Structure 1
Amino acid sequence: MKTLKILVGLALVIAISAFAIEKVSVESTDGGYTVGDVATDFSLKNIDGKMVSLADYDDAEGFIVIFTCNHCPYSVAYEDRIIALDQKYKTKGYPVIAINPNNPKSYPDDSFDNMIVRAEEKGFTFPYLFDDGQKIYPQYGATKTPHVYILEKTNKGNIVRYIGAIDNNYKDAAAATDKYVEDAVDALLSGKEVPVKETKAIGCSIKA
């Protein structure tokens, strides 16, 4: 009888633990955009001091929104590829919009002044916006730098069509065999279904 009570007690503990784990898992993904959601616009300060919104781009067909920063080695490894994406797709209607989501108090390297310096050093061809107060990245659900959201402009709003990584090899662009962002934008420009709609973003965690 005593053994039965112990087994019942253990089963109850396991069931409660499983429920708690499931609840945490659900809550951890709650609040951010998923593919098919309409992304709200924002107004963030660019490195030139001007405020930038998606609504400013009258001729755009969509956007390659990338949460990135100065200090993260993954972000640095992707900088040339982000510039190349902007140069390739901006004239086709899909400009890059880069956003630094990090708290500069946690990482001074990611301060607004250092954003200006980094953009000049690398010759960024796209807006590099500061998520002051960290209000925008939680709306998107971004967790890493870099973390990409491809939006398609429609009469219903800017619809999320892809979320995740730029490609499948952060160390070497030439060795990347799956170019997720390029494939997604090419598909959208051709009026086709995005082949891979979501991947795991690989990078540094966003610093609160």
Structure 2
Amino acid sequence: MKKLIKLVPAAILVLFISAFTLNKTVSNGYGIGDIAEDFSLKNIDGNMVSLSDYKEAKGFIVTFTCNTCPFAVMYEDRIQALNEKYAPKGYPVIAIMPNNTDVKPGDALPEMKKRAEEKGFTFPYLIDEGQHVYPKFGATKTPHIYVLEKTNKGNVVKYIGAIDDNHTDASAVKVKFVENAVDALLVGKEVEQKETKAIGCTIKV
């Protein structure tokens, strides 16, 4: 009985540590004001792409997305529209596919290339091979957006979350979170709504 009593607290401690570790893994990542590390990821054209390649950029709309998530598909046209509107102003979209392609073969590089051609993507569509980049950002969904502002200190995280407030109907959107954030940065203002809840499919590991 004494051994059992000793084992119970130990078991609870193990469960507590496991739960804490799991929670830390899920919630870990950049916060508002953090400096996002640069990366080098393969584009659908086979070339490697880094944020540092964009010498004239004022910032970036880093978008974690994929082919197979219905939420991501619903946002494809809006992501394209973001790039068309803001890339000329210095805030290009950098799309990253974060899923494990063994779990989601429909997100493999050839399928990414096919989808980009079908939709006429004008932004780079990169694959996070080895899944090293998305955990640094703390992305958990597709789509999940990070607006970065280029500064002398590096690329500062200014907004994290959803693209807008209506994933099902673009015509019914009332608040465009990403547009509001970028518009504020372009005129030197503080982003008012810095974080929102990303709505989408969980990233497959």
Normalising by the residue count of structure 1, what TM-score does the alignment of the two structures yield?
0.88
Larger Rg: 1
Matched, 1:144 2:107: no
Deviation per residue, 1:2-29 (Å, 9 max, x gap): xxxxxxxxxx9xxx8xx77984685245
Indicate yes or no: 2:52 matched with 1:63.
no
Specify the alignment match of 1:8 in structure 2: none
Identical amino acids, percent of aligned pairs = 64
**3-state SS in 2 of match to 1:178:** coil
Output one character per residue of 1:49-96: Cα deviation in whole Å (capped at 9) or x when no partner: 100000000000000000000000000000000000000000000000
Equivalent residue of 2:159, what SS? strand
1:34 and 2:31 matched = yes
After superposition, residues 39-58 of structure 1 pair within 5 angstroms as 39-58=36-55
> What does the per-residue CA deviation read over 1:133-190, in whole Å, with 9 as the maximum and x for residues that have no partner?
0000001000000000000000000000000000010001111111000000000001
In 1, Cα distance between equivalents of 2:162 and 2:66: 15
For the residue of structure 2 that corresponds to 1:139, the secondary structure is helix
Give, in angstroms, the shift of residue 38 of structure 1. Answer: 0.1
Quote the Cα distance in structure 1 between the aligned partners of 2:34 and 2:116: 31
Q: Show CA shifts across 1:22-53 (max 9, x none).
A: 84685245530000000000000001110000
Secondary structure (helix, strand or coil) at the match of 1:97 reads strand
Distance 1:93 1:87 in 2: 11
Question: 1:194/1:21 Cα in 2 relative to 1: closer, same or farther (>3 Å)?
Answer: farther
> Which amino acid is 2:198 matched to?
A
Within-5 A mapping of 1:130-169: 130-169=127-166
Q: How far apart are the structure 1 equivalents of 2:191 and 2:163?
A: 14
**Unmatched segments (≥5 aa) in structure 2:** 1-8
CA distance in 2, matches of 1:131, 1:161: 22
- The answer to whether 1:201 aligns with 2:198 is yes
Partner of 1:9: none
Hey, which bits of structure 1, 4+ residues long, moved more than 6 A? 19-22
Distance 2:107 2:23 in 1: 30
- Given candidates 89, 93, 110, the residue that maps to 1:96 is 93
- The root-mean-square deviation of aligned C-alpha atoms, in Å, is 2.0
Looking at structure 2, the residues matched to 133 and 21 of structure 1 have their Cα atoms a distance apart, in angstroms, of 24
Larger CA deviation: 55-64 vs 23-32: 23-32
2:118 to 117, 121, 139: 121
Matched, 1:185 2:182: yes
CA distance in 1, matches of 2:110, 2:19: 42
TM-score, length-scaled by structure 2: 0.90
Across the two proteins, how many residue pairs are aligned to each other?
195
